[in-house]
Amino acid sequence: MKISKAVVKGSAKTFVPGILFFALLPSLGHAADAFSPDSEYMFGDWGGYRTDLKNQGVDFQVGYTAESAANLAGGYDKSTSMRYSDQWAFGVNLNLEKLLNWDDTEFQFTVTNRDGQDISGQKVSDPRTGMLSSTQEVYGRGQTWRLTQLWMRKGFFDHALDIKAGRVTVGEDFDNFDSKFQNLAFGSGQAGNWRGDHWYNWPVSQWGGRVRLNFTPEIFMQVGWYNQNENNYAAGDGFRMDFHPTVGNMVPVELGWQPKLGPDNLQGNYRIGGYYSSANDSVYSSWRNGGYTDTAHAYGGYILAQQQLTSQGGDPTRGLKLTLQGVMNDHKTAKIDNYQSVSLTWKGAFDARPDDEIGIGIARIHVNSSYSNQQRAENNFNGVNDYNSATYLPIQDGSEYDYEIYYNVQATKWLQIRPNLQYVAAPGAVSKVDDAFIGGISANVNF
């Protein structure tokens, strides 16, 4: 495998601080169970002190995610290369019912840092357009430090009404579920992945909140409000706290059903929702002579259907789980007008490895034809029709398809390692780019 010096240098800049962090933290804990495979934390329970703090209402959270990918064949740049990206998350959750006797109240503070490089935009796809999805979902939104969470949540009327407000990310409440896929097209919050100029998923936060009504333990409805400010996702503005310049607000609404079905209490997660943004967006079909002549407000909808299908060995968390997702966006302002995916996971397939998991998925991401026509009009206006010209804007038309299969090894309670294989058909929905075969590996460490 050919790896450039620049890649090695960039990866070293990311990896060395991680090694130093790994080396220094044990001296802080002095815990006998540090590095124990049976401990929830890599550096142990700090001699029981960490559990005592959590029981009193203070829960410290330190996590590390690493994702690497190599283009093994095909794609825009066929020279085999590897890229590495990572994310640190440092947080604390305060149970204010335990600490201050405030009924059903909690506070969350999280700071994140993303670093490294991505292979999708430079090697797999044409750099002039980029991929629609990403082979390393932890990459993106600026490789920088961010204030990701600073919110308070309060329940009322025996948790029938639940309110959360502060610096929040939309995807932690709406269109939400857990996923171990490395490709962005299979994770949580897909509504935000295809309308990322308004719906900000982790790690980008904004001022906002949501009100949730729990009609029963299984059925709920929630509505949110999120300030629209482009500076929130700009690199270098990760701790910006003001509202200026506000361009509007986004309001999502969601109805959810989370049943436990059958005698085995198989968990389901069903959500249907929509969003509306009051910000003004350019209408692609109005592009004329170098600019847009009309604006409109963005809106869209989504559906999530996730169901545990089987149990295994008497454990309802083991067995097969099916996930179906779909997103629809307006045709005036959205680059991606529709998306669908289906994935299947099998946890505990082998009795000797009850916590390991196998996953396989396929996703389709479709480009709005109005956006494709706008690209053609821009090329004609500039008098450029040669794909190989540096000033040519490659036409993104039709769909990109993403496939992934992974095996998640639960090496210890605090370490997960996931080798995966991905296949990207029509990267960036550009017909001139060959399909790509990618090998990847990701890891999660809980300190």
How confident is the model at residue 17, as a pLDDT? 44
DSSP 370-425: HHHHHHHHHHHHHT---TTSTT------SEEEEEEEEEEEEEETTEEEEEEEEEEE
Provide the sign of the torsion angle of the four alpha carbons 116, 121, 122, 124, taken in this order.
positive
Choose among 143, 123, 121: nearest CA to 132: 121
Residue 24 lies in a domain: no
DSSP 318-382: SEEEEEEEEEEE-TTT-SEEEEEEEEEEEET-BTTBTT-EEEEEEEEEEE-HHHHHHHHHHHHHH
Residue 39 lies in a domain: no
* 16/24 Cα distance (integer angstroms): 12
Exposed, middle or buried, 334 (CB in 10 Å: 0-12/13-18/19+)? buried
Q: How many CB atoms lie within 10 A of CB 106?
A: 20
Report CA-CA distances (Å) from 331 to 279, 345, 375. Answer: 16, 33, 15
Provide the sign of the torsion angle of the four alpha carbons 334, 336, 342, 343, taken in this order.
negative
Pair of tokens at residue 399: 């769909």
Rg (CA), the chain: 23
Q: How many CB atoms lie within 10 A of CB 230?
A: 12
Phi and psi torsions of 170, nearest 5° = -65, -45
Report the CATH number that the domain containing residue 118 is assigned in CATH: 2.40.160.180
Task: Note the pTM of the prediction, 2 decimals.
Answer: 0.90
Boundaries of domain holding 393: 60-446
**In the chain, what's the furthest Cα-to-Cα distance?**
70
- Is the CB of residue 162 less than 8 Å from the CB of residue 153? yes
What's the pLDDT tens digit per position in 278-323?
999 999 999 998 899 999 999 999 999 999 999 998 899 999 999 9
* 322/319 Cα distance (integer angstroms): 10
Residue 171 lies in a domain: yes
Residue 41 lies in a domain: no
Measured at the CA of 278, the angle between CA 273 and CA 284, to 5 degrees, comes to 90
Contacts of 35 (CB under 8 A, 6+ apart): 26, 42, 43, 44
Torsion of CA 379, 384, 386, 387, to 10 degrees: -40
Count the domains in the chain. 1
* 291/286 Cα distance (integer angstroms): 8
* 211/13 Cα distance (integer angstroms): 42
Residue 257 lies in a domain: yes
Report which residue type is found at 68: S
DSSP SS3 for 90 = strand
Exposed, middle or buried, 20 (CB in 10 Å: 0-12/13-18/19+)? exposed
* 108/348 Cα distance (integer angstroms): 32
Q: Which positions of the chain have pLDDT values less than 50?
A: 1-31
Q: How many CB atoms lie within 10 A of CB 330?
A: 20
* 336/190 Cα distance (integer angstroms): 11
Residue 4 lies in a domain: no
- Is the CB of residue 365 less than 8 Å from the CB of residue 133? yes
- Is the CB of residue 380 less than 8 Å from the CB of residue 393? no
Residue 354 lies in a domain: yes
DSSP H helices, 57-203, are 96-100, 190-193
Return the residue matching tokens 């997103």: 327
Residue 209 lies in a domain: yes
